[in-house]
Structure 1
Amino acid sequence: MKAPRRPIYAVITWLRRQPPKVKAFLAVVAGMATLVLLRAIIHDHDNLFVAAEAVHSIGISVLIFKLMKDKTCDGLSLKSQELTAMFLAVRLYCSFVMEYDMHTLLDLATLATTLWVIYMIRFNLKSSGMEDKDSFPLYYVVVPCAFLALLIHPTTSHHIANRICWAFCVYLEAVSVLPQLHVMQNTKIIEPFTAHYVFALGIARFLSCAHWVLQVLDSRGHLLIALGHGLWPSMVLISEIVQTFILADFCYYYVQSVFGGQLVLRLPYGAV
């Protein structure tokens, strides 16, 4: 007699059969439901931002463990790590000159570990690099982000150069994972540690996006005024949402793979 399937497997099977528009609609509904739940159980929504930074740090720790254990950087994008170090360095500068607080220390720790990952990939494990797969040109994202920061930045009382730097790190963070997704799209088969790292980034981005959305709702829009006037407040929210949706497709396949009992994630054509 055939054993009955677990409910979670039945749900996943049903989801696989749905057209893309239905999946997108269900993803939006699930995201909204999660926001409602987070708003109900977490009273200080600043904790969501701290949690996002903590999850990012955990993801970096997973990378370091992979590099030290497997002695290979197979599947990792050096360019994505360089973009991460770039926006973290700019954000640290902005934190020191504009709003030094606990987040500054968290960013400092994350930057230090990211630089360590870059060092290991560039020097210790250079022979196992994937330069042919990691071919995403950095100027494709750095130049547009810099240009956008010149046009749209905060209208606060800080020096214009600091405000442009702040905008630049917000925009660059939103697209810093693109080279990593490009590598995974080229390889199609993703080993567990890399998958865990990118999934951690997805969770961190969702928590950060939830933080901003809930802060705006709780302040009844006053937070947007505090961020400045013009297009900048909207661009902050758009950047957070873009980060979340860039990683949403990968996170879907990651969860599907975990519940399916697969150790290695295989992406279908066109994913991420």
Structure 2
Amino acid sequence: MADVTGKVKDPVLVLARWLRNRNARERTMLGVLGGVLLLLLLWRTIEDHDTLFVLAELSHFAGIAVLAFKIHSRKSVAGLSLQTQLLTAIYLSVRLFCSFMMEYDIHTVLDALTLLATCIIVYCMTSTEVALTYQKEQDKVKSYYVVVPCVVLALIAHPSTSHAFPFRALWSFCVYLEAVSVLPQLRMIQKSKVVERFTAHYVFALGLSRFMSCAHWLLQIMEGNKYLLQALGSGLWPVMVLLSEIVQTFILADFCYYYVKSYAEGTGVIRLPTGVV
């Protein structure tokens, strides 16, 4: 019998080549369609939408764990943005404080673990021998450029609950800061164009986390959640929360596309064209 193994086409590679030959507009439309289909799949398979929040936080924690493994195994923090890690530590600290003052649950525990892991990363990047590998000259987006606009926005749009104003403003501040905390990291990636593998895993984990969190709100709207729909029409704050989730998702969408594309092609090397992120 003739060996026909070599004639069998790998469907993943065939699909990857087909996608590569599409123009930018077609790839964008296919990406949107893929996102909608994934939302529908989550809608039909996950009954408790709060599970998506837990998955989002677990994905973020997994991304930090990848960075810790990189630092331990390679003794290097090359490609990592200290500014993004500091911004992450800030919004997690504020959110934990608000959680203990206002309400706390499983999300508080996950936030505490992620904050601890983030602080370890910051310590390694500033106070150990691997700090010598930190590419400070490429980490140009200073944290205060991101923090100050978030503070101003938090004073304008915040929850209208019975809690004291400082707590409400702090809670909205951490929502806005989380939405843009990855910008310094993406700016470093934009400068280098070729993304180091463990850094790419970390950023992809953030993208997956943001998609899960955004999906939580979109699925509730799809199911006609009366409380949420009424809230969206009751003031600026609910709209800003949903907008923040969408902004986070789209900020990372391009990178995640090229991440998946690189592995579909079998290279595992993420090379970004000009203008991405």
TM-score bracket for this pair, using the shorter chain length = over 0.9
Q: Which residue of 2 aligns with 1:154?
A: 159
SS of the residue corresponding to residue 132 of structure 1 reads helix
Structure 1 range deviating more: 254-263 or 46-55: 254-263
The equivalent of 1:54 in structure 2 is 58
Cα distance change of structure 1 residues 111 and 224 upon mapping to structure 2, 3 Å threshold = farther
Q: Aligned equivalents of 1:224 and 1:139: distance in 2?
A: 34
Extract unaligned runs of 5+ from structure 2: none
Shift, 1:243, TM fit: 0.6
Q: Which amino acid aligns with 1:220?
A: N
CA distance in 1, matches of 2:260, 2:198: 14
Which of 109, 116, 119 pairs up with 1:115?
A: 119
The answer on whether the counterparts of 1:205 and 1:243 sit within 8 Å (CA) in structure 2 is yes
Match runs of 1:126-205 below 5 Å: 126-205=131-210
Q: Following TM superposition, by how much is the alpha carbon of 1:28 offset from its aligned partner in structure 2, in angstroms? A: 1.5
Residue type of the alignment partner of 1:64: A
Deviations 1:182-215 (A, max 9, x none): 1111111112111111111111110111112223
Contact 2:232 2:239 in 1 (8 A): no
Counterpart residue number, 2:238? 233
Cα distance in structure 2, aligned partners of 1:35 and 1:77: 31
**CA-CA distance at 1:229 after TM superposition:** 3.1
For 2:134, the aligned partner's letter is: G
1:25 to 26, 29, 44: 29
Partner of 1:93: 97
Deviation at 1:141, TM superposition (A): 1.5
- From 27, 35, 42, give the equivalent of 2:39: 35
Give identity over the alignment, percent. 53
- CA-based RMSD of the aligned residues comes to 1.7
- Further displaced range: 108-117 or 228-237: 228-237
Q: By how many angstroms is 1:102 displaced? A: 1.2
User: Out of 83, 86, 90, which is 1:79 matched to?
Assistant: 83
Question: In 1, are the aligned partners of 2:16 and 2:261 still within 8 Å (CA)?
Answer: yes
Deviations 1:19-71 (A, max 9, x none): 32222222221111111110101111111110110111111000000001100
What secondary structure, in the 3-state scheme, does the structure 1 residue paired with 2:160 have? coil
Task: Tell me how far apart the structure 2 counterparts of residues 67 and 205 of structure 1 sit (CA, whole Å).
Answer: 24
Aligned length: 272
What TM-score comes out, normalization by structure 2 length? 0.93
Corresponding position of 1:223:
228
Q: Contact 1:224–1:233 (CA<8 Å) still a contact in 2?
A: no
Instruction: State the partner residue of 2:215.
Output: 210
Q: Which residue of 1 aligns with 2:275?
A: 270
Q: Which residue type is aligned with residue 17 of structure 2?
A: T
Residue number in structure 2 paired with 1:255: 260
> Within 1, Cα distance between the matches of 2:148 and 2:249?
22
d(CA) in 1 for partners of 2:29, 2:74: 40
Q: Deviations over 1:67-111 (max 9, x none)?
A: 011001001010000010011011111111111111111100100
Which shows bigger deviation, 227-236 or 35-44?
227-236
The structure with more radius of gyration: 2
- Choose from 11, 14, 17 the match for 1:10: 14
